[in-house]
């Protein structure tokens, strides 16, 4: 067997170090020993500061109490100098990471377009193969990464807060259309109920009969979190949202192909010198593909 196959066998047997090494190899660009798309995951997204990591920590506590194992892929912003992850989300889930039933892996975006990397699919497959009951992907929660997470997760949980001003204006980019369940965190704050009503009102305007439910929770007190976990068990995506997800998967695959093109560096240099046009650059990479 190859080194990758040996790591997979050890990871299946519960060796966390082998699992970490295998995920590192995949993150660095090595081929996964598994077929793509065998695992399922829950994408958790939302803007910075709404308490995603704190809420995930409470959700993990409930799953662990029920004897379920949880793996979290926490996508952190990359340092523009080193390219490494800042590990902010993991620091907020310290208590959860102390359990044998919990595995948390921080990933750097590495300045990937959309903020998410193509290797996430392979990582989810590996975690699923190694027996993890719940697999979560937490995004940076800014820009295109809120949308792109649908390329890697089967269901999407959108977390928002009541203290961000015009909540509908902030979400008009389209993530509300893709969410399977929406949560207003910090339900103990005065504006929480108004924010939940605003989201429900915005969703009611559409013609889609499968609009997501809107729940109110408090990661601080734990209120409503158990109901959220129970509802996630029965939440399924709609056919319309699945079609949008397939589109994002295709775009993500193209981004990955572009970034790994052997012609990329020379094409960029030619563009910098002005010796080719942008369309000629596109045609050059397209021919390689």
What does the pLDDT average to over 16-32? 91
Residues 16 and 43 in one domain: no
Question: How many separate domains does the chain show?
Answer: 3
- Pair 151, 276 in one domain: no
- Regarding whether 120 and 19 lie in a shared domain, the answer is no
The answer on 185 and 121 residing in a single domain is: yes
199 and 227 belong to one structural domain: yes
Structural domain that includes position 51: 35-237
Same domain, 174 and 46: yes
Position 130 pLDDT exceeds 80:
yes
- DSSP letters, 190-253, are TTHHHHHHHHHHHHHTSS-TTPPEEEE--TTT-TTHHHHHHHHHH----HHHHHHHHHHHHHHH
Do 108 and 224 reside in the same domain of the chain? yes
Please tell me the predicted confidence (pLDDT) of residue 82: 43
The whole model's pTM is what?
0.80
Residues 107 and 211 in one domain: yes
Give yes or no: residues 120 and 4 share one domain. no
The reply to whether 80 and 17 lie within a common domain is: no
Residue 80, judged by CB atoms within 10 A of its CB (0-12, 13-18, 19+), counts as: exposed
pLDDT for 44 equals 92
* 213-266 pLDDT, tens digit each: 899 999 999 999 999 999 998 887 777 777 777 887 788 778 777 877 888 899
DSSP-derived letter for residue 31 is P
83 and 187 co-located in one domain: yes
pLDDT digits (tens, 9 = 90+) for 142-168: 555 556 777 788 888 989 888 655 555
Provide the CATH number for the domain around residue 149: 3.40.50.300
């Amino acid at each position: 067997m190859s080194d990758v196959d040996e790591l997979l066998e050890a990871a299946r047997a519960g060796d966390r170090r082998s699992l970490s090494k295998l995920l590192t190899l995949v993150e660095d660009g090595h081929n996964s020993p598994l077929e793509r798309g065998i695992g399922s995951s829950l994408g958790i997204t939302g803007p910075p500061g709404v308490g995603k990591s704190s809420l995930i920590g409470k959700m993990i506590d409930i799953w662990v109490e029920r004897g379920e194992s949880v793996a979290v892929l926490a996508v952190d912003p990359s340092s523009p100098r080193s390219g490494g992850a800042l590990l902010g989300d993991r620091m907020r889930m310290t208590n959860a990471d102390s359990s044998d039933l919990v595995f948390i892996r921080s990933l750097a975006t590495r300045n990937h377009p959309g903020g998410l990397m193509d290797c996430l699919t392979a990582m989810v497959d590996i975690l699923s193969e190694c027996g993890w009951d719940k697999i979560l992907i937490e995004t940076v929660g800014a820009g295109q990464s809120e949308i792109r997470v649908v390329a890697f997760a089967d269901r999407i949980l959108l977390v928002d807060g009541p203290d961000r001003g015009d909540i509908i204006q902030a979400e008009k980019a389209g993530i509300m259309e893709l969410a399977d369940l929406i949560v207003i965190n910090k339900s103990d704050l005065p504006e929480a109920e108004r924010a939940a009503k605003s989201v429900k009102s915005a969703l009611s305007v559409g013609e889609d009969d499968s609009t997501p439910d809107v729940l109110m929770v408090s990661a601080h007190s734990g209120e409503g979190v158990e109901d959220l976990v129970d509802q996630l068990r029965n939440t399924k995506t709609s056919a319309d949202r699945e079609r949008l997800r397939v589109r994002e998967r295709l775009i993500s695959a193209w981004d990955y192909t572009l970034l790994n093109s052997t012609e990329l560096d020379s094409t960029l240099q030619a563009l910098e010198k002005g010796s080719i046009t942008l369309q000629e650059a596109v045609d050059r990479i397209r021919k390689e593909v």
